[in-house]
A and B are shown apart, each in its own frame.
Chain A
Amino acid sequence: MAQAAREPDFRTRLQEWIPKLVLSPSVAAMVVFVYGFIAFTVYLSFSDSRMLPSYDLVGFGNYAKLWGLSAWWTAIVNLGIFASLYIVTCTAIGLVLAIFLDQKIRGEGMLRPIYLYPMALSFIVTGTAWKWIMDPGIGIENSMHLWGWTSFEFDWIKDRNMAIYTVVIAAVWQTSGFVMAMFLAGLRGIDNEILKAAQIDGASSWSLYRRIVIPLLRPAFLSAFVILAHLAVKSYDLIVALTGGGPGRATELPATFMYSYTFTRNSMGIGAASAVIMLMTIAAIMTPYLYAELKEKT
């Protein structure tokens, strides 16, 4: 009897602990490998680390040096050009394709996977394909010449001033279909009655979309912006595969800058400082968004 009374007690206590025990490996991993590592990198960004981590602090020295480097400024300016064009173009293409696909298109089931498949590929594959397609020697320029359009020129990938736009082309190719899917889901979620009512009131298709549908897609716009912006800041593989940062330094981005300063130029302190700036940029975009999402959902 006594045992029977005590057993559930033990079991209840065990039941209370099991969930926390199950969660703890993930939490421990997160505390060490994410937040601990972030703290470590922040520390290194204030240290005089060169080839290996060093623990002697030098204050804001690395940050001062970083912002004095023309290579860093090139990377920042490139990121500005790349991110803004990438976000705007992906959003525009995604929105147009979603609205058009939503017009009861025959063959939608065929078109959707064609728009979406690039997202399944690695940026290294995308970069390899576009690298040779845009290569003036064997790619589109050559094809146009062979087809008789001999004055056609497309050598952006070899041109210091234009190379960054080839990165935009390849990146837009990879992700715009995904943005389309996000907008399409948003469009399919809109209540038809609203649209019908507006049409009875005599709204034209154009003003229907401009005044009613697009404002209703606000959450999809926001999600698309956040996803694209953080992808842009993190862009690394595509640059490596497509241009290798070149010609010269014409397509260096913060991610490639960080890698080369940390691991090949023996300036780990400066590399760490650039990583901290990348993290702060992404945190500034993500934190308000995640905060709002979490608050709304629970």
Chain B
Amino acid sequence: MAPAQQDTAVHTGRIARTFIYVVLLVFALFYLLPFFVMLVNSLKPLSEITDGNMMALPRAWTLEPWRQAWSSAQIGVQPTGLKPYFVNSLLMVVPAVAITTVLGALNGYVLTKWTFPGHRIIFGLLLFTCFIPFQIVLIPMATVLGKLGLAGSIPGLILVHCVYGIGFSTLYYRNYYAAFPTELVRAAMIDGAGFFRIFFRIMLPVSGPITVVSVIWLFTNIWNDFLFGASFGGQSQPMTVALNNLVQSSTGVKEYNVHFAGAILAALPTLVVYIVAGRYFVRGLMAGSVKG
């Protein structure tokens, strides 16, 4: 997104401008409503939700739903709260993002600066993997993870997320490096610099912006994944699967306040990443991959 405001040539009258502001604000309310509902109701005792108004602020503020969601709510059959699953998600997402980003950067570097016949086909095939419906790989993946002894484990989930994340990281780095002057790389080669030396000394120092994009994208996708976690999580289910189990559990009273606190807990890491670095993400994404 261009940081500078563009001088739009359209002149708008007073009534039109008021209308524009009203529409923009109504949509802002529409986008904020679910978060408001989640936050407000996670701070209420359950009786205020079942007998009261969902849109109202709490009368008796309480952090009890948060404590329950974190450490004592019934997930499946165990009253563990979401804490162990939050840890599972972290243990899964950090290595997966690191591995995928490093491989993507190297792939992007090879596919732009060390090209060979057929590099375009390889990139095309990699790119297509970003968009496949994962249903097409579920059955063989279950079989293979079982054979490798990785079914239901964190390393298994890391493997799955790396395999299906490489397409995206390669896409980002490839498009970014394609814009980097190849003459500089040629000059370094003539000076006798090798593959890795050029990568670490020339490419890596300029890779900050696209690394932000790649890391945010992969972190969000992998943290938010549900299909793979539900299919291959086994004993190491990630946060999304645990949250769904908490909300869909059919036994006992529906503790809406605990559900909302759990939902915010599940959303927190990606929201924090988005709030801290979202601006760079959108800017980098628009510059790198979407032509407008």
Contact with B along A93-112 (1 / 0, CB 8 A): 10011001111110010011
The distance from the CB of A109 to the nearest CB of chain B, in whole angstroms, is 9
The distance from the CB of B117 to the nearest CB of chain A, in whole angstroms, is 11
The distance from the CB of B27 to the nearest CB of chain A, in whole angstroms, is 6
B259 touches A128 (CB 8 A): yes
Q: Given that A279-B136, A287-B128 are known contacts, is A189 also in contact with B53, CB under 8 Å in the complex? A: no
A276 touches B136 (CB 8 A): yes
Of A129, A223, A259, A290, chain B has the most CB atoms within 10 Å of the CB of A129
A112–B126 Cα gap in the complex (Å)? 32
Contacts of A142 in B (CB 8 A): 53-54
- CB contacts under 8 Å to A, within B103-125, are 103, 106-107, 110-111, 114, 116, 120, 122-125
Question: Which DSSP category, helix, strand, loop or mixed, fits chain A's interface?
Answer: helix
Contacts of B9 in A (CB 8 A): 192, 195-196, 198-199, 208
Contacts of B17 in A (CB 8 A): 103
Contact with B along A213-236 (1 / 0, CB 8 A): 000010110010000001001101
B34 touches A129 (CB 8 A): yes
Contacts of A185 in B (CB 8 A): 1-2, 286, 290, 292
Chain A residue at minimum C-beta to C-beta distance from B169:
A26
Q: Given that A122-B223, A122-B224 are known contacts, is A100 also in contact with B132, CB under 8 Å in the complex? A: no
Tier of interface size on chain A = 35 or more
Contacts of A97 in B (CB 8 A): 23-24, 27
30 interchain pairs, CB-CB under 8 A: A18-B195, A29-B162, A33-B141, A41-B139, A97-B24, A105-B24, A113-B275, A116-B278, A117-B271, A122-B243, A129-B38, A131-B247, A132-B54, A133-B37, A133-B54, A139-B54, A173-B30, A173-B34, A177-B31, A183-B292, A187-B6, A189-B2, A199-B10, A205-B10, A219-B292, A234-B133, A236-B227, A262-B138, A271-B139, A276-B136
